[in-house]
A and B are shown apart, each in its own frame.
Chain A
């Protein structure tokens, strides 16, 4: 198996608010290998966007990061901002959710490319810059005639393709795509997804695809990580996880998706927890249909499930760590009150 391009270990990203620190990312670990796509799914507000930005070191002032992010044997956590800047763009790319506002309205598309290329390869000539930019744009289906146009002259789908071209023009080894299709309509979504699928073929790029859309993961990702309240609760082969989910949250999430065969809508009762003051033990226990006594008291321990994926759930043990009587079902009134709130 190829060595991981990026490997995240026990990463924590907390940021400050009036009410106290928000534990947006709270001890997350995963690897992404060369040419591989890892899907990161979860409800909005579970910390998945913060995780993506945390890897690139793009966080609001005042936030605190620890743990480890290794990119090709280089540690990225705690690196000076100026060194991080050189890595961003050239080796780590980021594709955003809302393409409409991500391009500077006062700059031509050509200027965006020139600026990006010059920031990392100052020795390039203008002709080389134009050639490389136009070539990347063409691969995204943007004709060279539009090269010197302004952002407002493009549609949302085209702008997203331009953003992807901007992220790829420097050929980064690892790209975070943060809900790249959420703001776009379905036809454009399919187009963008096929572009992303081509990435690893043409550029051999590793991709962290953040989304709340499980269909996209099934279509585009080899592996999937499910995030809940700042933690990854389950991670493994995408097909395996979807066909045989180990964590109750993953199961509920899959049941909530709408498909053609859906006859009644399913939803997970309660609402995502407050990350300033998350529930004790397993963060999911107030909403979990299979919650046990131990779940509200102890943080779950990650184990490898029989089917091969990593999962953090007491249902999967390790049994020797569960205190006596811990497996008794949790009192249901807690769930009821959480539901009301």
Chain B
């Protein structure tokens, strides 16, 4: 296998070529930032448009109570109940849904839920997946083999089913809130971090500076923590961003199937779409189209950032340097052998 070493549902083959590991940048993400700043053309566009979209949703999430006109489960105001499935109008820009809740507020609060779940899930999977990958890749042996088998099995399994089962099983003990959803999603993404980090460790382990450290008698913990970690961590931003995008879709999928966050706990886009199926049959489009567009936008934003980063960091995909060259004109030089005239470009003039 040459190309496409990892393939998470959201990503293309990234990081076939691990970033060069010979220079220690300032801080673990110093080089990343350097390369982001150098991004050009379409990659640059991808990065900045994606970042802008994502930033909008983060603002919505953080300031939801200030921005949203009503609460996420508020169906009346000043003692007056909102219309049930009311179409978009001046007071309810996005209309109201079957529970008489303002759709705009649900959409805004939904971004808060989505970002909470995704941040939790990404942090959890990083904290589990990266150390496991480091240890497995560094030590090898039977531990590595068993971990690889389990992770491969989890990786190959239809991820949504896995999440459903976990959410379903946790419903009884943990309840069906943000935490359950985050844990269910974590289980899906741990194998991905594990695979990528392990792969990177395997190649970095043979690098001269790691061998030198080992030869000098550095303890495994020092080697992993100081030498391998900072090199391996370079690849994490791309996967984390693409996984975050994927996690939003998984969360919505869970909600759509009825195994996600319940509407009493928080506003969740996928759940709104599930409720919108019946409305759609009756032609009431606004109850599902707005939450749906919110999902599409946020996922697109995050994917653009991930793809942009991938372009910038992956040397194979980076735009070739093939700038168009325009040859400078030269003086009409006689080009006959064997007595070619002096090559009078530039400094030749001084002579005459």
Direct contact, A vs B (beta carbon within 8 Å)? yes
Q: Which residues of A contact B (CB under 8 A)?
A: 9-10, 12, 14-18, 21, 27, 29, 31, 60-64, 66-68, 280-281, 297-304, 310, 321, 323
Chain B residues, CB < 8 A from A302: 338-340
Q: Could you say which of A9, A62, A298 has the most chain B C-beta atoms within 10 Å of its C-beta?
A: A298
Once the chains bind, are B325 and A63 in contact (CB under 8 Å)?
yes
Chain B residues, CB < 8 A from A15: 322, 325
Chain B residues, CB < 8 A from A281: 347
Once the chains bind, are A298 and B350 in contact (CB under 8 Å)?
yes
The closest CB in chain A to the CB of B327 belongs to A64
- Number of B interface residues in the complex (CB < 8 A): 25
The closest CB in chain A to the CB of B38 belongs to A18
Our pick among B326, B335, B344, B351 for the contact of A10 (Cβ within 8 Å) is B335
| Distance in Å: Cβ of B171 to nearest Cβ of chain A | 50
Q: Which residues of B contact A (CB under 8 A)?
A: 320-327, 333, 335-348, 350-351
Once the chains bind, are B324 and A9 in contact (CB under 8 Å)?
no
A60 to B321, CA, bound (A): 10
A310 to B339, CA, bound (A): 9
Given A297-B347, A323-B351, A29:B340 Cβ within 8 A: yes
| Distance in Å: Cβ of A327 to nearest Cβ of chain B | 14
A60 to B324, CA, bound (A): 10
A148 to B347, CA, bound (A): 59
| Distance in Å: Cβ of A132 to nearest Cβ of chain B | 33
Once the chains bind, are B327 and A14 in contact (CB under 8 Å)?
yes
| Distance in Å: Cβ of A180 to nearest Cβ of chain B | 25
Once the chains bind, are B341 and A301 in contact (CB under 8 Å)?
yes
A67 to B333, CA, bound (A): 11
Given A15-B322, A16-B323, A64-B326, A321:B351 Cβ within 8 A: yes
Given A17-B321, A18-B321, A29-B340, A298:B326 Cβ within 8 A: no
**For chain B, what secondary structure do more than half of its interface residues adopt (helix, strand, loop), or is it mixed?**
loop
The closest CB in chain B to the CB of A19 belongs to B321
| Distance in Å: Cβ of A235 to nearest Cβ of chain B | 9
Once the chains bind, are A310 and B325 in contact (CB under 8 Å)?
no
Once the chains bind, are A62 and B324 in contact (CB under 8 Å)?
yes
A303 to B336, CA, bound (A): 12
Given A14-B325, A66-B327, A301:B343 Cβ within 8 A: yes
Given A10-B335, A29-B337, A67-B335, A299:B322 Cβ within 8 A: no
| Distance in Å: Cβ of A77 to nearest Cβ of chain B | 12
| Distance in Å: Cβ of B214 to nearest Cβ of chain A | 33
Our pick among A17, A27, A29, A298 for the contact of B347 (Cβ within 8 Å) is A298
The closest CB in chain A to the CB of B344 belongs to A299
Once the chains bind, are B348 and A298 in contact (CB under 8 Å)?
yes
Chain B residues, CB < 8 A from A303: 339
Chain B residues, CB < 8 A from A299: 342-348
Chain A residues, CB < 8 A from B351: 298, 321, 323
Chain A residues, CB < 8 A from B341: 301
| Distance in Å: Cβ of B43 to nearest Cβ of chain A | 14
Our pick among A62, A68, A297 for the contact of B335 (Cβ within 8 Å) is A68
A301 to B347, CA, bound (A): 13
Once the chains bind, are A64 and B320 in contact (CB under 8 Å)?
no
| Distance in Å: Cβ of B325 to nearest Cβ of chain A | 4
| Distance in Å: Cβ of A126 to nearest Cβ of chain B | 32
Contact sample, A vs B, 17 pairs, CB 8 Å cutoff: A9-B336, A9-B337, A10-B340, A12-B327, A14-B327, A15-B322, A17-B321, A18-B321, A29-B335, A62-B320, A63-B322, A67-B335, A297-B350, A298-B347, A299-B347, A301-B342, A310-B337
A297 to B349, CA, bound (A): 11
Once the chains bind, are B345 and A62 in contact (CB under 8 Å)?
no
